[in-house]
Amino acid sequence: MPFFFWLYFLFPQNFKPSGSSVLHNPGAMFELGNMRFEVSHVHKVECVVPWLNDTLVFFTISLQLCQQLKDKISVFSSYWNYKPY
């Protein structure tokens, strides 16, 4: 079952980052660059058409994997732009 998250900007006080799990409950907190976000709503989507439900699940998983890959690659972006001279 796919899950959709709504995030909102979180101010620095009382920030406790969430783990790297795929599914998050409302209140989970994330950091992107200098900005911090908190999950405010989670929506669960189900479909009675089996192939469409499977498609939604696969799209959700692929989106999450792509986001994880993007996060891992972004760590090295500062090294790619580094010029020692």
In a domain, 82, yes or no: no
Q: Phi and psi at residue 53, in whole multiples of 5°?
A: -65, -45
In a domain, 84, yes or no: no
In a domain, 10, yes or no: yes
Domain residue limits at 18: 3-77
Residue 75, sorted as left (phi over 0), alpha (psi -120 to 50) or beta, turns out to be: alpha
In a domain, 49, yes or no: yes
Cβ neighbours of 28 (radius 10 Å): 19
* Confidence (pLDDT) at 65: 85
Domain count across the chain:
1
Q: Which two structure tokens, joined as six digits, stand for 17?
A: 């980052």
Binned at pLDDT 50, 70 and 90, residue 49 comes out as confident
Report the relative pairing of strands 3-10 and 29-32 from DSSP bridges.
unpaired
Question: Chain-wide mean pLDDT for the chain?
Answer: 68
In a domain, 85, yes or no: no
In a domain, 83, yes or no: no
Q: What is the model's pTM? A: 0.46
